[in-house]
Amino acid sequence: MTILAHAPKRVQAIRDSAATYIEAIADLEVQVRDPSIRERLQQVRNEVGDVETFFMASLSRESRTAAQESAWLGNAEMALQLAALKLKAIQDTIQHGPNVANI
């Protein structure tokens, strides 16, 4: 998908971060057996995926000024930060082993 972005390096950084989070989620999904934690992982996966399917995808569909794009990318970064916090909470929960019950 071609993106006509005013800040291509920022767009790539967001995409790279999202890919890193998806990789971390996939690694945890292999380890964790608890259904409630797996559900939480899926929710975080969906939220990270929304960054690509909602925020990044719209960059190629909608024209924006540099200021509008900057604000849009700020929202994408905030969505990633929130997902990262949720992922960190899950990681903290399972640090005692993959079979831990949901806290």
**Tell me: the pLDDT tens digits for 56-99?**
999 888 889 999 999 999 999 999 999 999 999 999 988 876 55
Q: Which residue has the higher pLDDT, 54 or 98?
A: 54
Task: Tell me which of 3-7, 29-33, 76-80, 99-103 is least confident.
Answer: 99-103
Q: What confidence score (pLDDT) does residue 98 get?
A: 52
Question: What pTM, to 2 d.p., does this model score?
Answer: 0.84
pLDDT at 102 over 50: no
Contacts of residues 82-85 at CB distance under 8 Å and 24 or more positions apart, as own/partner, are: 82/47, 83/21, 83/44, 83/47, 83/48, 83/51, 84/21
- For residue 99, give every residue at least 6 positions away whose Cβ sits within 8 Å of its Cβ, in sequence order, or none: 33, 34
Give dist(CA 3, CA 77) in Å, integer. 17
